[in-house]
C-alpha cells in the first residue's frame, strides 16, 4: 500500500503517479493480450480495484457501439414521423431508455448510410457514434432565457442539442479554433436549423478577455485523449504516452481555469471529457479547487442515468471530498462510450 498525501502537497503529480504505476505480470499479460500500453492497464487496476473488473472494461472496449440519433424537434414536430421514414428505408430503431427523443439504431442498411439519407440532409436528426454525448446538454439543462457558452463546440452535437432544448431562444456562443472543425460546426448548425447561436473561430480560452462574467451556463467538453472512445478508435490503446497524457492534463487545467472566468456569479459550468482517465478529470478538478475559492463542485442534477462517482483517492493522492459529486460513465457498466462530467458553480 502507498502512503496517502493531500494532492495540494505534491508539486510534481506526473512523477508521483509514474513512480507508483504497477509493473506486475498481470499488467504485462493484459497489455499484450489486448494491445494496450502497460501504464494504461496499471491505471485501470488502480481505478477499479480488481483484475476481473479490469477485464470487463477491456472486453467492453472490444465491442462495437451502435449508432444513435437525436430527433431534431427544431425541424420535426412529431418524432414518430422521423422513425417511420427511417424504418421504411430499412433501419430499425429503439428508443433510448433515458431520453425519448433519441433512438439507438439496432439495424442499419448498407445504402443509404445514416449520414446520407434525405432526412439527415434535411436536419431531421443528428447522428452520434454512441449515446453518452446526449447526456451533458440534459444535465446542463439550459432554459429559453439563458446565455450559454459552448467553448469547444465542433462538430456541433452538443451545441445543436442545447439549441433544441432552448427551443432556439436565448443565446449560445459556440467557439472552435480549427478551420476544418469550424466548417463542420457551421454545417451542422445550418443543417439543424439552429438560429440562436453565434459562431466564433477562436480558442475558447480567449473568451474571458471580451466576455468575462457574461454567461450563466457554460459547457466545456474539453479537448482530451479520448480514452473513453477505444471501441470507436482502437488506435487510442497506444496513441497516448503517459507524458502526453500529463500534457493534456495541464492544458485542461488551463482551459477550465479560463472558462470559469466567462461565468457570472451563481452560474454553472459543466466540465466534460470523452475520457475515463482521472488525470484528465478528477485531478483537473482538484487542481482548480486548489487554485480558486470562487467555485465549488455542485451535485449533478437532471442526470438521466445513474453515474459512477468521482474518485477521491488515486495512487495515494487524497482529492477534495466534493470531487465524489462528479460522475463517470464506464463502457462495461453503462454500455456506452466512456465519459466524465463535473458541474461547478461560480459562488463569488
Residue at 11 is within a domain: no
> Could you tell me which residues come within 8 angstroms of residue 286 by beta carbon, excluding any fewer than 6 positions away?
7, 317, 319, 320, 323
Crossing angle of helices 51-61 and 38-48, rounded to 10°: 120
The residue out of 106, 128, 150 marking a domain boundary is 128
Q: Are residues 296 and 152 in the same domain?
A: yes
**Cα(335)–Cα(189) distance, integer angstroms:** 29
Residues 280 and 151 in one domain: yes
* Domain match, 149 and 271 both: yes
Are residues 113 and 175 both part of a single domain? Answer: no
Question: 144 in a domain, yes or no?
Answer: yes
- 117 shares its domain with 205: no
13 lies in some domain:
no
From 71, 79, 274, 342, active-site residue: 274
Give the per-residue pLDDT at 22: 84
**Which residue, 242, 233, 318, 306, is CA-closest to 280?**
242
- Look at residues 105, 128, 151 and tell me which one is the last residue of a structural domain: 128
The answer to whether residue 35 sits within a structural domain is no
Quote the pLDDT of residue 2.
Answer: 57
Domain assignment present for residue 43? The answer is no
User: Is residue 90 domain-shared with residue 199, that is, in the same domain?
Assistant: no
Please enumerate in sequence order all residues whose Cβ is within 8 A of that of 183, keeping only pairs 6 or more positions apart, or say none: none
Please state the domain count of the chain: 2
Q: Which domain holds residue 98?
A: 68-128
> Do 245 and 324 fall into the same domain?
yes
Per the listing, cell 503529480 goes with: 13
27 domain-assigned:
no
Q: Let me know how long the chain is.
A: 348
From 128, 145, 165, give the residue that closes a domain.
128
Please indicate, yes or no, whether residues 175 and 237 belong to a single structural domain of this protein: yes
What 3-state class would DSSP assign to 114? coil
pLDDT reported for residue 3: 72
- CATH number of 174's domain: 3.40.50.150
Task: Classify residue 19: in a domain, yes or no.
Answer: no
Residue 122 sits in a domain whose CATH number is 3.30.70.1170
75/216 same-domain check: no
Q: What are phi and psi of 69, to 5 degrees?
A: -130, 150
Rounded distance between C-alpha atoms, residue 68 and residue 77, angstroms? 19
Residues 108 and 174 in one domain: no
Are residue 195 and residue 332 in the same domain, yes or no? yes
pTM to 2 decimal places: 0.97
Per-residue pLDDT of the chain (348 residues; tens, 9 = 90+): 557 899 989 989 999 999 999 889 999 999 999 999 999 999 999 999 999 999 999 999 999 999 999 999 999 999 999 999 999 999 999 999 999 999 999 999 999 999 999 999 999 999 999 999 999 999 999 999 999 999 999 999 999 999 999 999 999 999 999 999 999 999 999 999 999 999 999 999 999 999 999 999 999 999 999 999 999 999 999 999 999 999 999 999 999 999 999 999 999 999 999 999 999 999 999 999 999 999 999 999 899 999 999 999 999 999 999 999 999 999 999 999 999 999 999 999
CB 40 within 8 Å of CB 230: no
Instruction: Report DSSP letters for 59-72, one per residue.
Output: HHHTSPPPPEEEE-
Task: Flag whether 2 is in a domain.
Answer: no
Residue 274 annotated as catalytic: yes
CA distances to 60, 124, 220, 230, 235 from 63, rounded to whole Å, are 5, 28, 28, 10, 14
100 in the same domain as 184:
no
In terms of DSSP H, where are the helices of the chain? 13-20, 25-34, 38-48, 51-61, 79-88, 118-121, 135-140, 157-165, 179-191, 242-260, 282-291, 331-334
Amino acid at each position: 500500500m502507498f502512503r496517502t498525501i493531500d494532492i495540494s502537497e505534491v508539486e510534481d503529480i506526473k512523477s508521483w503517479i509514474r513512480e507508483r504505476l504497477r509493473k506486475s505480470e498481470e499488467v504485462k499479460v493484459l497489455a499484450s493480450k489486448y494491445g494496450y500500453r502497460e501504464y494504461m492497464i496499471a491505471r485501470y487496476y488502480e481505478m477499479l480495484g480488481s483484475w476481473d473488473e479490469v477485464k470487463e472494461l477491456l472486453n467492453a472496449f472490444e465491442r462495437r457501439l451502435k449508432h444513435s440519433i437525436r430527433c431534431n424537434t427544431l425541424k420535426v414536430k412529431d418524432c414518430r414521423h422521423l422513425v417511420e421514414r427511417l424504418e421504411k428505408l430499412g433501419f430499425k430503431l429503439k428508443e433510448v431508455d433515458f431520453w425519448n427523443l433519441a433512438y439507438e439504431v439496432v439495424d442499419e442498411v448498407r445504402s443509404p448510410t445514416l449520414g446520407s439519407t434525405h432526412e439527415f440532409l434535411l436536419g431531421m436528426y443528428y447522428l452520434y457514434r454512441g449515446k453518452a454525448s446526449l447526456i451533458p446538454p440534459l444535465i446542463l439543462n439550459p432554459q429559453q432565457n439563458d446565455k450559454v457558452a459552448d467553448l469547444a463546440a465542433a462538430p456541433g452535437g452538443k451545441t445543436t442539442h442545447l439549441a433544441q432544448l432552448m427551443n432556439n431562444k436565448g443565446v449560445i456562443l459556440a467557439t472552435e479554433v480549427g478551420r476544418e472543425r469550424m466548417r463542420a460546426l457551421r454545417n451542422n448548425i445550418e443543417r439543424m436549423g439552429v438560429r440562436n447561436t453565434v459562431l466564433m473561430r477562436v480558442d475558447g480560452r480567449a473568451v474571458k478577455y471580451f466576455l468575462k462574467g457574461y454567461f450563466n451556463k457554460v459547457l466545456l467538453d474539453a479537448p482530451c485523449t479520448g480514452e473513453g472512445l477505444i471501441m470507436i478508435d482502437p488506435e487510442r490503446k497506444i496513441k497516448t504516452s503517459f507524458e502526453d497524457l500529463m500534457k493534456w492534463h495541464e492544458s485542461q487545467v488551463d482551459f477550465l481555469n479560463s472558462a470559469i472566468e466567462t461565468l457570472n456569479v451563481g452560474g454553472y459550468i459543466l466540465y466534460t471529457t470523452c475520457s475515463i482517465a482521472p488525470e484528465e478529470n478528477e485531478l483537473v478538478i482538484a487542481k482548480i479547487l486548489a487554485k480558486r475559492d470562487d467555485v465549488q463542485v455542485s451535485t449533478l442534477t437532471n442526470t438521466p442515468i445513474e453515474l459512477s462517482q468521482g474518485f477521491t483517492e488515486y495512487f495515494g493522492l487524497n482529492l477534495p471530498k466534493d470531487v465524489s459529486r462528479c460522475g463517470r460513465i464506464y463502457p462495461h457498466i453503462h454500455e456506452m462510450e466512456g465519459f466524465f462530467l463535473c458541474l461547478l458553480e461560480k459562488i463569488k
